[in-house]
Amino acid sequence: MIDRADFLARFGGVFEHSPFIAERTLDAGSIAQPLTAEGVHAALTDAFREASAAEQLDVLKAHPDLAGKLAIAGGLTEDSRKEQAGAGLDRLSPDEHARFTALNAAYVEKFGFPFIIAVKGLTKDDILAAFEARVGNTADEEFETAKTQVERIALLRLKAALPGD
Domain match, 90 and 14 both = no
Domain match, 14 and 53 both = yes
157: in domain: no
* Overall number of domains in the chain: 2
Domain match, 81 and 34 both = no
Domain match, 39 and 103 both = no
Domain final residue, candidates 24, 39, 57: 57
Query: What is the full DSSP assignment across 72-104?
Result: HHT-S-HHHHHHHHHTTTTS--HHHHHHHHHHH
158: in domain: no
Total-model pTM: 0.88
Does 41 participate in catalysis according to the annotation?
Answer: no
29: in domain: yes
Domain match, 148 and 68 both = yes
164: in domain: no
Domain match, 29 and 81 both = no
List the domain range (segments joined by +) for residue 119.
64-152
Domain match, 97 and 48 both = no
| CA distance linking residue 53 with residue 108, whole number of Å | 17
Of the residues 17, 41, 63, 97, only one is catalytic, namely: 63
Domain match, 49 and 107 both = no
| CA distance linking residue 111 with residue 139, whole number of Å | 6
What H or E segment, with its residue span, contains residue 44? Answer: helix 37-50
Domain match, 70 and 145 both = yes
Per-residue pLDDT of the chain (165 residues; tens, 9 = 90+): 679 999 999 999 999 889 999 999 999 999 988 999 999 999 999 999 999 999 999 999 998 777 665 455 455 567 766 777 777 877 888 898 889 889 999 999 999 999 999 988 898 899 999 999 999 999 999 999 999 999 999 999 999 999 766
Q: Closest Cα partner for 22 from 116, 164, 158, 163? A: 158
165: in domain: no
